[in-house]
Amino acid sequence: MPPPSGSTQSPWRACVLAGVPGSPAPRAMEAANLSVAATGIAFLLGPEACSSSPSTGGVLRSIPGGAALLGRESPFSLFTTLVVTLLVLLIAATFLWNLLVLVTILRVRAFHRVPHNLVASTAVSDVLVAALVMPLSLVNELSAGRRWRLGRNLCQVWISFDVLCCTASIWNVAAIALDRYLTIKRHLQYTLRTRRRASVLMITLTWALSALIALAPLLFGWGEAYDARLQRCQVSQEPSYAVFSTCGAFYLPLGVVLFVYWKIYKAAKFRFSRRRRAVLPLPATGQVKEAPHQAEMVFTVRRPTVAFQMSGESWREQKEKRAAVMVGILIGVFVLCWIPFFLSELISPLCACSLPPIWKSVFLWLGYSNSFFNPLIYTAFNKNYNNAFKNLFTKQR
């Protein structure tokens, strides 16, 4: 049916003319033919076809079905290229560094014990973040309008692994801090056998709780990760799930690590304040005579002071101090990396408000970067790892 006549321009005609430079003057045969073809498409699709924004170099940017008409996406800017390069390097470094820690723990028999099994559990979760979560997140960031174009099933798998691995990484940090606290505070009761059992229990609870939080939306219908209308893939925005997931994945372990480190600080301060040096003064002058009627041999010592300390106690205290510093830095970096993301994740569903997409991306990748810092921190404060790394590369050569 032809468009209605009259002075008012039809929406179909307006849609075509909006995309053809120089219309309605018949400048070229190609423009006229293209206008006729686009008019036919507009009649079939209706006025809503005009919702597709025209590109700078063509008539229509796209039409349903993926066909493009004389339009192409603008190339990435220099800043975008730089950011993408940095994110790719972050993904590669996170994967390789945590993989190196895992290989070292598996190959060195001295690391087949506590607390290295907790470190290995953390490295496993961080390797999975780098291998399964961060690449798909980067793909989602690079898509136009941050739209998810990989389907509903892959979206659910990605979100589940995202929540699972990040939650496990966070709880593993809490487990390492708790192990350090028990080692310093109750070193007599916390024997090697007890420590091994406690570490296995902490690792099991860490992954079980992480799986429960990650799979709750799928098991109990607690919101939907994929929005087909908007082509969005994100963690369920159901307010009740937002409270449950953020508290279980971050705020509860945050409370644990802050309480534990406060106790570590108090215990370490108390132990270091008790350390005293024993001082044994000798007599002012000591004389030794060999015989009463012979030449005298006199040995004189002027107020010497002999100071000694138990070498085992000093070594243990230095080790505990280094461990306390390591746990403090690990907790500090963990809080700085994750607290912006989890604050926004908790507040946004409750107040029905939303942050600008750029800030969501910044907070998300700042949280991901914690998986890169974890192995750097707990290997920098352990000389055994540095020696093991050197031996590993030396043997490879």
Nearest to 157 by CA among 133, 125, 128, 127: 133
Amino acid 272: pLDDT: 64
Q: What is the DSSP-derived secondary structure letter of residue 64? A: T
DSSP summary character for residue 110 = G
Predicted pLDDT at 75: 54
One digit per residue, the tens of pLDDT, for the chain of length 397 reads 444 444 444 443 444 344 444 444 444 444 444 443 444 434 334 444 444 344 433 333 333 333 333 334 455 688 889 999 999 999 999 999 999 999 999 988 888 877 789 999 999 999 999 999 999 999 998 887 788 989 999 999 999 999 999 999 999 999 988 988 888 777 777 888 888 899 999 999 999 999 999 999 999 888 888 988 888 898 988 889 999 999 999 999 999 999 988 887 777 677 666 664 444 444 444 444 444 444 444 444 444 444 444 444 566 667 677 777 887 888 899 999 999 999 998 888 888 777 888 999 999 999 999 999 999 987 887 788 888 888 877 765 5
304 upstream amide cis, omega within 30 of 0: no
pLDDT at 315: 66
Do 250 and 338 touch, CB atoms closer than 8 A? yes
Among 93, 114, 108, 88, smallest CA distance to 374 is for: 93
Amino acid identity, position 382: N
Residues 72 and 311: their CA atoms lie apart, in Å, by 72
Question: Side chain identity at 121, as an amino acid letter?
Answer: S
Do residues 103 and 392 make contact, with C-beta atoms less than 8 angstroms apart?
Answer: yes
Look-up of token digits 């280094």: 322
Q: Residue 232: what residue type?
A: R
From CA 332, how far away is CA 147, in angstroms rounded?
Answer: 34
Are the CB atoms for 90 and 364 separated by under 8 Å? Answer: no
Closest to 237 in 3D by CA, of 250, 248, 222: 222
Amino acid symbol at 183 = T
For the entire predicted model, the pTM comes to 0.70
Indicate the class that CATH gives domain 78-278+317-389.
mainly alpha
pLDDT number for residue 373: 94
Nearest to 364 by CA among 174, 188, 178, 233: 233
State the DSSP H helix or E strand holding residue 308, giving kind and residue range, or none if neither.
strand 305-308
Domain chopping of the chain, boundaries: 1-74, 78-278+317-389
**How far is residue 266's CA from residue 112's CA, in Å, rounded to a whole number?**
30
pLDDT for 126 equals 96
The predicted structure's pLDDT at residue 395: 63
CA distance 231 to 149: 7
Q: What is the pLDDT of residue 249?
A: 94
How far, rounded to the nearest angstrom, does the alpha carbon of residue 85 sit from its chain's CA centroid? 18
Query: What is d(CA 359, CA 356) in angstroms, rounded to the nearest whole number?
Result: 6
User: Which residues contact residue 172 at a Cβ distance below 8 angstroms, ignoring those fewer than 6 apart?
Assistant: 118, 121, 122, 125, 203, 206
Torsion of CA 264, 266, 272, 275, to 10 degrees: -120
pLDDT of amino acid 341: 94
